[in-house]
Structure 1
Amino acid sequence: MRRRVALFYPIGLWAGNARAADAAAQAPALGVSERRLQFPADFGAHPDTRIEWWYATGALVAAEAPRGAAPTHGFQLTFFRARTGLDAAQPSRFAAHQLVFAHAAVSEVSGGRLRHDERIARAVLGVAGAATGDTRAWIRDWQLAREDTASPPGSRYRARLASDAAGFTLDLALSTTQPLLLQGRAGYSRKGPDPGQASHYYSQPQLAVEGTLVLDGRRRPVRGRAWLDHEWSDTLLHPEAVGWDWIGMNLDDGSALTAFRLRRADGRTLYAGGSWRTAGGPVRAFGADELRFAPGRSWTSPRTRARYPVAWQVDTPLGRFGVEALFDDQELDSRASTGTVYWEGLSRLTDAAGRPVGGGYLEMTGYVERLRL
């Protein structure tokens, strides 16, 4: 998608973002290891690690829709931070020690249309950045930030962005209804069979969403349910892995299901993981041998000719689930920023009998070519 370039930048916002970028450059190096995550510090950026992302997805309905109404729209907003490897001793304020990327998308279920846009910028002069100490990532007027809430105690994330190219605006508040979900072993998530292939990873499932969606100038008050992931790592992909298949699902009873697998070029699973948590219950982490992904119906992209399984059967220790896209064409071409094409889409979750039990997002990478991080 064509990227909109801002020619002017508010001085006050520039100054605040510049201070945040300076703080990020001076953050202590903690790396990725089995340690106890500390909050709010670990809500923020970890500039000593190679790659990091904050990833929010959700299902939306009209604000006045009845309870239990089927989603009419989905949204995705992801901010990526990547360390460039430039010598830290380089003193110039223009030196690109960190890059920031952003992807945003809106899925329109009626009509099966996906709108998406992307941005990339150097984390210099306050134009873009990812702050340490708490969640705040931005590229010009695209922003995601967290604040504490007193009643009920928790977090509220604010997502604000506008895309002239794709014709949409998002202004959403995502409020926690449950505690943090630490993935893997207390937030240390293995991503392969070899030591060191791991990330720090936590989720915020069952977020309550309120806000505004604007499509082609038409303003729509919306509400819904969302999921947020924050993950950072130095090494995510084993040399034999070409990509991954991942689901993050909010169940109607308040439970949360995460499942992923790293995939070899021949389609076989290299490594797998995930978790289950009931509303108010403990986390049940899945071992690498406890998950089975079986592809069902496929869809072929008319643009890239990649063939994506848009329906899956996922066997977990808690039972069998079905995952099916609400519509097929949710492929995102981000070669102008992160350099990859992937499928990321609003999907429904069913139980072993085929009954709807929830929904969320399915992500599939490495189907056009091997994912590069």
Structure 2
Amino acid sequence: MRRRTLLLAASLSPVRAEVSKPALHFPRDFGSHNEAGIEWWYVTGELQAGDELCGFQLTFFRSRTGLARDNPSRFAARQLLLAHAAVSDLRAGRLLHAQRVVRWSESDDETLLAFASTQDTRVRVQDWSLLREGDGSYRAQLGDRDVGFAYELQLKPTQAPLLQGDAGLSRKGPGAGDFSHYYSEPQLAVSGTLTRGTRQQAVSGRAWLDHEWSDALLPRDAVGWDWLGINLEDGSALTAFRLRRADGSTLWAGGSHRMPGAAPRNFAPDEVRFTPGRRWLSPATHASYPVQWTLDTPLGRHEVRALLDAQELDARTSSGTVYWEGLSELRDAQGRVVGRGYLEMTGYVRPLGS
């Protein structure tokens, strides 16, 4: 247990590497950046299953532990690979979720049960995987071993990758080292199957992929973040985020909007404002999450509404964290739904990384 605690702590307090700001180059930067302290591939989206609307999440995390650097063993815990998966079952009013964590020696051997390629997005943790194909599409597969749900999805890009911030360099605070490398693939066309219990259904929908890596999880004085990625009905993509202090005030903010085929319009920190509205109290953790927000950006004022309040994911047995991640809709000033996507809120149970 003590060793497991040490490894989980390492995953949230990654070793800092030398700060570097190289330009992004594809397909190499679709792959793993093992020298960076922490990295994630985050897929979220909406699925239409008959007359039901569901949300889904599949996330893979890689964390450099700083341990066993000189150990030649293929089982040396140089890295941790973690995975979180969820389905927001709106009709049943519940979140199905599961998690995995394994040690990884940095081997590119795809025959292993855990690997992350440095050449492309090809990552697996046991029977869960996210694999990028030669045509740029993705296969997301979640096995149902002792989980109770499963999906096999194909995600097809309809747009070029969205380089967040300054050509993929996204500021995350006022300090010189407060940045991440970050790109998104919004408006992914989804098809495949979703299984809940013994019931399998054909599904279609839209998704959003984020790939981000950095040498620190949070800047100093930040306890968590609020993030939003919305696929708008007009085909554009909206990103907005803020990093919070312990008193709830904003330490840093940013985001972008991109129309199809156009360059992104990046938002300055003072152009993004999150104002919390209605809150939901988790019966499990007693954390209070804003499940409605007023969002002000250069696009104007919008309202963010969670489509299910109870979308808290308890990942304490893998990453040691609890966070809220859920399918939400965006409404304009006239109350019309103009897009759907995912809202993420971290640091509400306790400061992230503590």
Same-fold call, TM cutoff 0.5: yes
2:11 corresponds to: none
1:340 corresponds to which residue? 321
Q: 2:13 maps to which residue? A: none
**Sequence identity, in percent?**
61
- Structure 2: gaps (5+ residues): 1-16
SS in 2 for 1:289: helix
- The secondary structure found in structure 2 opposite 1:88 is coil
Residue 131 of structure 1 aligns with an amino acid whose one-letter code is S
- State the SS of the aligned residue for 1:72: strand
Aligned to 2:99: 118
Q: 2:222 aligns with which of 229, 241, 264?
A: 241
Question: d(CA) in 1 for partners of 2:43 and 2:85?
Answer: 10
Supply the AA of the counterpart residue of 1:358: G
Is 1:74 aligned to 2:55, yes or no?
A: yes
* Residues in 1 aligned to 2:138 and 2:270: alpha-carbon distance in whole angstroms: 35
Q: 1:309 aligns with which of 290, 296, 311?
A: 290
Change (3 A) 1:32 1:77: farther
What's the CA shift string for 1:208-258, capped at 9, x where partnerless? 000000110111000000000000000231221110000000001001000
Between the aligned partners of 2:309 and 2:147, the Cα distance in structure 1 is 19
Distance across 2 between alignment mates of 1:91 and 1:61: 47
Which residue, out of 355, 362, 366, partners 2:343?
362
Give 1:60's match in structure 2, choosing from 44, 47, 64. 47
Q: Any conservation in 1 of the 2:68–2:77 contact (CA below 8 Å)?
A: no
Matched pairs, number: 334
Q: How does 1:249-264 map to 2 (within 5 A)?
A: 249-264=230-245
Question: Cα distance, 1:129 vs. partner?
Answer: 1.9
- Do the aligned partners of residues 31 and 37 (structure 1) sit closer, same or farther apart at CA in structure 2, a change above 3 Å counting? farther
Question: What's the CA shift for 1:34?
Answer: 2.9
Matches within 5 A, 1:1-373: 33-62=20-49, 72-124=53-105, 126-149=112-135, 155-372=136-353
Contact 1:81 1:101 in 2 (8 A): yes
Kept in 2: contact 1:128–1:139 (CA 8 A): yes
Deviations 1:321-366 (A, max 9, x none): 1110001000000000000000000000111222100100000000
Q: Is the 8 A contact 1:33 1:188 kept in 2?
A: no
Equivalent-residue separation in structure 2 for 1:366 and 1:164 (angstroms):
30
Q: Deviations over 1:181-216 (max 9, x none)?
A: 000100000111111111100000000000000110
What is the distance in 1 between the residues matched to 2:278 and 2:244? 18
Structure 1 consecutive aligned stretches of length 4 or more whose deviation exceeds 4 Å: none
Report the equivalent of 1:25: none
SS at match of 2:351: coil
- Work out the CA distance in 1 between the residues paired with 2:235 and 2:134: 22
User: For the residues of structure 2 that align with 1:60 and 1:110, how far apart are their CA atoms?
Assistant: 13
Secondary structure at the aligned position of 2:23 is classed as coil
Cα distance, 1:320 vs. partner?
Answer: 1.1
